[in-house]
Amino acid sequence: MNDQVVVDPARLGQTVLVDGRRLAWAEWGPGDGRPVLFCPGAATSRWLGFAGDVLDALGVRLISVDRPGLGGSDPLPGRSLLDWAADVRQLAESRELTGLAAVGLSQGAPFALACAATGVVTGAAVVSGTDELANPGFGDALHPDVRGMVAAAAADPVAAEASFAAFGSAEVMWDLIVRHSHDVDRRVYTEPVFAAAYRRALAEGFAQGPAGYARDTLLANSPWPFDPADITVAVDLWYGALDTSLSHSPDHGGLLAARLPDARRHVLPEAGGALLWTHGEQVLRDLLSGVAKGRSATGGTASAAR
């Protein structure tokens, strides 16, 4: 399966929140379709969506939103994952996004789960997601570099955030993505049209400087301010067995699936970390199916690998 098609946004805009900050967003698909919030990966902006060629057929209105300090969204110093959920709640109410679901990619995963934990979305899909890296349950499973970032964030959050800012740039991020990817992912990322779109999204993500990326990275390496056990909506977890990213879940979502009351875990043997762009249609179909069936009403944790 290969859904790797680059489609520019159909609509761009900004929503002003009650405190005067602006959230910048991009949309694909029908304007009256089922709204799905996209929380993109590290340092990327709203410009890069997924499954753009099938959204009309699926009836999905995909909405990617820049997190504060990235792209076109105003900064919010000291923000938390729960602040993001509150921002999305305001956005949804302002734009009348009834029945909003969410997809969180890579470092966007905890932001999508924060929305699920606070009841802002009706269901969520985590794709190649980072896990709660600060969870002691991972022990030595984390790569030493990641373990060092988690330790630094715990010891001195202010200093850690400053160090992440000093490190962050569009070129550095692109180099990390390509260098640490499996060949199956590298073929996706370096395809000329896709590479140009991804690099544009990175450049836009750093348009205001590295502070937004640094805050996201601090939050990704810190304990989550919510318990996954309290998430009552259905959550799909998608991982590629060939994913070699250092910052994604070290056990392909195994521990996270066990912590969620209603999770369905997919580990695709032929896929890598870029599976949102190779299996995006499947991710959306399963997300919408799970929400429609109200899996959360049945309780329990379902786990599947396929």
- All structural domains of the chain, each given as residue ranges with its CATH number in brackets, are 11-298 (3.40.50.1820)
* Confidence at residue 4, expressed as pLDDT on a 0 to 100 scale: 63
Token pair listed for 261: 């009351």
* Confidence at residue 304, expressed as pLDDT on a 0 to 100 scale: 41
Contacts of 45 (CB under 8 A, 6+ apart): 64, 66, 70, 71, 72, 201, 202, 204, 205, 207
Q: CB neighbours (10 Å) of residue 136?
A: 7
Crossing angle, helix 109-117 and helix 81-95, to 10 degrees? Answer: 70
Q: The sheet that has 263-268: what strands, in order across it?
A: 11-16, 22-28, 60-65, 34-39, 101-105, 124-127, 235-240, 263-268
Token pair listed for 20: 């005067």
HEC string of the chain equals: CCCCCCCCCCEEEEEECCCCCEEEEEEECCCCCEEEEEECCCCCCCCCCCCCCCHHHHCEEEEEECCCCCCCCCCCCCCCHHHHHHHHHHHHHHHCCCCCEEEEEHHHHHHHHHHHHCCCCCCEEEECCCCCCCCHHHHHHCCHHHHHHHHHHHHCHHHHHHHHHHHCCHHHHHHHHHHCCCHHHHHHHCCHHHHHHHHHHHHHHCCCCCHHHHHHHHHHCCCCCCCHHHCCCCEEEEEECCCCCCCCCCCCCHHHHHHCCCEEEEEECCCCCCHHHHCHHHHHHHHHHHHHHCHHHHCCCCCCCC
* Confidence at residue 139, expressed as pLDDT on a 0 to 100 scale: 83
* Confidence at residue 229, expressed as pLDDT on a 0 to 100 scale: 97
Q: CB neighbours (10 Å) of residue 94?
A: 13
* Confidence at residue 47, expressed as pLDDT on a 0 to 100 scale: 94
Contacts of 276 (CB under 8 A, 6+ apart): 50, 103, 105, 127, 128, 238, 283
Task: Name the amino acid, one letter, at 259.
Answer: R
* Confidence at residue 292, expressed as pLDDT on a 0 to 100 scale: 83
> Cβ distance 25 to 73 under 8 Å?
no
* Confidence at residue 3, expressed as pLDDT on a 0 to 100 scale: 56
pTM of the model: 0.94
Average pLDDT along the chain, 306 residues, taken 10 residues at a time: 75 98 98 97 95 96 98 98 98 97 98 98 98 93 95 98 94 93 95 96 97 97 98 97 94 97 97 96 95 55 39
> Cβ distance 100 to 120 under 8 Å?
yes
